[in-house]
Amino acid sequence: MKIIELKDEQAGGKVGFEIFKEALADNAQVFGLATGSTPITIYKELTASDLDFSDKISINLDEYQGLPGTHEQSYRHFMAEHLFNQKPFKESYVPNGLDEDSEAQTAYYDTLIAEHPLDLQLLGLGQNGHIGFNEPGTPFDVQTRLVDLTPSTIAANARFFASEDEVPRKAFSMGIGSIMKSKKILLVAYGENKAQAVADMVEGPVTTDVPASVLQNHDDVTVIIDEQAASKIK
Ligand code: F6R
């Protein structure tokens, strides 16, 4: 793992942007994308740039079950607002949270990823060490699944909703098996509340208790963190 410690998320946005730029220069075709507060500064740099993704494909990590893509807190809506409206891709895929046939939706998503192998996967990090919505205990070889969000993830995401009760309890998530097949991985984490998960990911044993620790087994991972997120690394 290559660890880049920076002052703050503005600096992280600039370095993350450079990693996207290099991937484009290396002829990357398929970009795995994430939502949440962490990638926002990278998306700001991308939308302000002249980089062109109009012949590229994006595949998002996850989507809440039960939210239509028009819902303000759906990940499809988030991506449109923060990236796709300003910087369109040729094709952009986000799981369909309204598909009542969850097995069909997960099979469809796995076929999509198999047909379009990921060149660069962007990840945030859960306070509990999750990547995508692969929560602690998730086997490392799983593919796309409908997952139950843990109480800690529901509480962490309540900040985006009017109340915790409104946070969906389930989400479709790309599996760790698919994430690990990406050619390159960029994980970004900011703030003190990520510090323990960062230390466990980087220094701890590789264990399903800390899903992000599996990244120690990948040979091309870059981690961007700020000083607070780095504060528990020994
Ligand atoms: C989002 C995702 C999640 C987040 C993680 C951190 O698509 O897959 O794993 O990356 O929960 O969220 P933030 O960035 O809001 O702290």
pLDDT at 63: 98
Is the CB of 13 inside a 6 Å radius of any atom of ligand 1? no
Question: What ipTM was predicted for this assembly?
Answer: 0.99
Residue 119 CA to ligand 1 center (angstroms) comes to 20
The minimum-distance atom of ligand 1 relative to the CA of 191 is 16
User: Nearest residue CA, atom 13 of ligand 1?
Assistant: 36
Is the CB of 61 inside a 6 Å radius of any atom of ligand 1? yes
Q: Whole-model pTM?
A: 0.97
Domain ranges of the chain: 2-216
φ/ψ region of 104 (left if φ > 0, alpha if ψ in -120 to 50, else beta) reads: alpha
Task: Tell me which residues of the chain have a pLDDT lower than 70.
Answer: none
pLDDT at 187: 99
The number of C-alpha atoms within 13 Å of 210 and in the hemisphere containing its C-beta is 20
pLDDT at 61: 98
φ/ψ region of 27 (left if φ > 0, alpha if ψ in -120 to 50, else beta) reads: left
pLDDT tens-digit readout, 109-130: 999 999 999 999 999 999 999 9
Is the CB of 32 inside a 6 Å radius of any atom of ligand 1? no
Alpha-carbon distance 59 to 45, whole Å? 19
Is the CB of 138 inside a 6 Å radius of any atom of ligand 1? no
pLDDT at 16: 98
User: Nearest residue CA, atom 4 of ligand 1?
Assistant: 124
pLDDT tens-digit readout, 149-168: 999 999 999 999 999 999 99
pLDDT at 158: 95
Hey, what CATH topology would domain 2-216 get? Rossmann fold (3.40.50)
pLDDT at 211: 98
Alpha-carbon distance 121 to 170, whole Å? 22
